Amino acid sequence: MTAPQDPLDPHAHPHGHTHQHGPAAPVSQHLRRVIAAVLVPFGIVMVAGLVLLWPGGAPEQEERSGVGFDQQHEDARVTELVDRPCEDLGVQVQEGVTGACQEATVEVTSGPDAGHTFSEVVPPDATKRFHEGQRVVVSYAPEAPEELRYSVVDVDRKLPMLLLAALFALVVVAVGRLRGLLALVGLVVSFLVLTLFILPAVLHGSNPLLVAVIGGSVIMLVTLYLCHGVNARTSVAVLGTLVSLLLIGALGSLFIGWAHLTGNTDDQTGLVHSLYPGIEIKGLLLASILIGSLGVLDDVTVTQTSAVWELKQAAPEANWRRLYSAAMRIGRDHIASVVNTLVLAYAGAALPLLLLFSIARSGVETVAFSELVAEEIVRTLVGSIGLVASVPVTTLLAALVVSADRRSSGGAGAGGDGAAGAPGGPAAGSTFGSAFGERWGPRPTRRRATNHRRRRKR
């Protein structure tokens, strides 16, 4: 007769099949109260902050500047395209560029001048091309001369974008089913908090860091509990995410100040600052780091918490140290992939900037330490430090919670899963257990049947 292999031993390769499916047993009533004592006040503070800082919509400007995104837009349609020599249209093209210019006739289809037509010249080296019948977006300057009031600023891409969003939702629901549907609801909640609270509150002059902390925390609480259930397992993931966000905020604030980063490094930020001088641009940079890291943090903390719970179910006799060691072996693989993902995500967003610096004649050191690049480096490295730190923090919290639960539920069999009638079972603390929405573990009859088959084989 061979000794059973340890499922937490990194050198063991068990091939047996376990019948312990479904969620792990809930934590003890006392431990649930401790978790609630931490998270309930935090949630109350975040909701209070949401109410106190609620902006009530974006601030209205007395006058539109007419530059950047601060323009009036109307819908239009290209009705005719004619090729004409650029010289006849008074268009100067760069040396070496050949081909005729296109003169597009555009009809305005919305607004006070619906039906009005104007001409738009497209040079041969322009990246944006038109075709007859294409829908476009035009800017409207009512104070300009009549022949200069309208100009094409973009194409109308509502249809492909809406179809892509519908395809995304269909795939998520088809594969994820109820969880996928809840994830979409969480995505809508995140979008609403971002557009109805975070952005308007920043425009109203509220501290961007405080707004990002409150808005990000509300997004975290709603989406995690909505997608993963109101239970102790999710609560541990929330605690791990919160600790990591605090670390990212502290490090970001330290290095943004130490490196003298202003946050005003591109045209969009400069335009926002010119339109709303009361916005703290440096705080806006720190807020963007927090919000950008939140989505990946949720993934890491939920994965690590679930790994600890499943390891405990596979090896009920393991103490917290063994659970922590086993889960960290999973976490180290996760760290490698997540850090690479975050760096590549930032690199992809800043790809045009990287292309410009790749052809610059300045040295690598000069380029890397310039504010434009240093801002992206701080954003990437601070977020990555928070992500890496979330793995041991969340794993340790989960290992301590799940191990303390089995000690307090008091030895209802090998691993203390809390069978019916045992201390810490359904009769003990069922009210608080139902509040966390967790079910009890595997039926004892399955385990006895499995043990009976093993005895017959021996």
Q: Where are the domains of the chain?
A: 29-53+176-436, 72-155
| CA 40/CA 235 separation, integer angstroms | 10
Each residue's pLDDT expressed in tens, for the chain with a length of 458 residues: 445 555 566 555 444 433 333 444 455 677 777 788 888 888 899 989 888 888 876 566 555 544 555 578 889 999 998 888 887 777 777 777 778 888 889 999 988 888 889 988 888 888 888 888 899 999 888 777 777 788 888 888 999 999 999 999 999 999 989 989 999 999 999 999 988 898 888 888 888 888 888 998 999 999 999 888 888 888 999 999 999 998 998 898 899 888 888 877 766 777 777 777 777 788 888 888 888 888 788 888 998 999 998 998 888 888 889 999 999 998 888 787 777 776 777 677 667 766 766 676 666 666 667 777 788 888 888 888 998 999 999 999 999 888 876 444 444 333 333 333 333 333 333 333 333 334 333 444 444 444 444 444 44
Q: Give the model's pLDDT for residue 448.
A: 47
Q: Give the model's pLDDT for residue 146.
A: 76
Helix axes 371-408, 281-314, angle to 10 degrees: 30
Which residue has tokens 């503070």? Answer: 45
Q: Give the model's pLDDT for residue 63.
A: 52
Q: Give the model's pLDDT for residue 10.
A: 58
| CA 335/CA 304 separation, integer angstroms | 11
Strand order in the sheet with 101-108: 117-122, 101-108, 72-84, 135-140, 150-155
First-to-last alpha carbon distance for the chain, in angstroms, is: 7
Alpha-carbon 260 to chain mean position: 27
Q: Give the model's pLDDT for residue 166.
A: 96
Q: Select from 2.40.50, 2.60.40, 2.40.160, 3.40.50 the CATH code of 72-155.
A: 2.40.50
Q: Give the model's pLDDT for residue 305.
A: 92
The verdict on pTM exceeding 0.85 is no
List the beta bridge partners of residue 107: 77, 117
Q: Give the model's pLDDT for residue 96.
A: 73
| CA 31/CA 404 separation, integer angstroms | 8
Which residue has tokens 């705080």? Answer: 283
| CA 338/CA 334 separation, integer angstroms | 6
Alpha-carbon 381 to chain mean position: 17
